[in-house]
Amino acid sequence: MSKITVESPKHCAEKQAVRIERNYKKLFFAFSAFFTSLLLFILLIYFIVHPSKPQFSLTEVDIYQLNLSGPKLNSSIQLTLLSKNPNQKVGIYYDEFQVYATYKGQQITGDTPVPPFYQSNEESNLLSASLVGNGVPVAPSIGYEVGRDQSAGRLVLNLKVNGKLRWKVGTWVSGHYRFNVNCVSVMAFGPSMASGPLISNQGAHCSTTI
């Protein structure tokens, strides 16, 4: 004689709930394993390739105007910047690139944008920018600093870059990283040169932080 088992609706519902819970757990573990593997793969690529910071250097700086009008400064500067990607297997997308000048710790020009560009592995690019500051408010001490530099015969100017970049390895492209560049330009500056443009083509290396 066969044994007949009759299950109550409540018991059937409990078994169904257990099966659904097990399916959700399997799905959760599958997605967790997938995303963990993907993250490990990306980290593995990063540590194998380990991209080096881009390198920048000034090739020329021309100051056409730098004069005070009361508590405000007017300036006009033309610069050429050499950008180099030192990586052998990594490209760089420059999505944001803003150049400006500072003097004695004060910004004396507006932010000048350079159009976005892509830099392939071990590629170098020359970038030009015109920096202008019209009626920029400055500290009263700036007039004294300009006079002192003129007496000393040299002018020290900082050219800076702020921006965002992305690394490219094969078909994989990273998220955005902020970068900052600081270049120091030293040029001859004396009373006899005040009426003409100040030109420096000695070149200067720049520091880069990411």
Q: Is 123 helix (H, G, I), strand (E, B) or coil?
A: coil
pLDDT at 69: 80
Residue 70 exposure: Cα atoms within 13 Å on the Cβ side = 4
The three-state secondary structure class of 57 is strand
At 21 the pLDDT is 62
Mean pLDDT of 166-184: 91
HSE-CB at 92 with a 13 A cutoff on CA atoms is 27
Give me the pLDDT at residue 9, please.
56
Task: Give the global pTM.
Answer: 0.75
Tokens representing residue 140 in the block: 């009263």
Q: Which two tokens stand for residue 41?
A: 């793969």
pLDDT of residue 112: 96
177, burial (CB in 10 Å: exposed 0-12, middle 13-18, buried 19+): middle
Least confident stretch, 36-45, 69-78, 107-116, 177-186: 36-45
**Spatial distance between the Cα atoms of 174 and 113, rounded to a whole number of angstroms:** 23
CB atoms within 10 A of CB 184: 13
Indicate if the pLDDT at residue 55 is higher than 70: yes
Question: What's the Cα-to-Cα distance from 73 to each of 47, 104, 109, rounded to whole Å?
Answer: 47, 13, 9
> CA distances (Å), 174 to each of 43, 157, 210, in order?
11, 34, 14
pLDDT, mean of residues 151-176: 91
- % pLDDT > 70, the chain: 80
Look at residue 12 and tell me whether its pLDDT is greater than 80: no
Question: What phi and psi values does residue 111 have, to the nearest 5 degrees?
Answer: -80, 125
Q: Which residue is listed with tokens 């390198």?
A: 55
Q: In the predicted model, what is the mean pLDDT of residues 137-151?
A: 86
Q: How many helices (H) and strands (E) does the chain have?
A: 2, 12
Identify the weakest region by mean pLDDT among 143-157, 160-174, 186-200: 186-200
**What is the rounded CA–CA span in Å between residue 35 and residue 39?**
6
* Mean local confidence (pLDDT), 102-126: 95
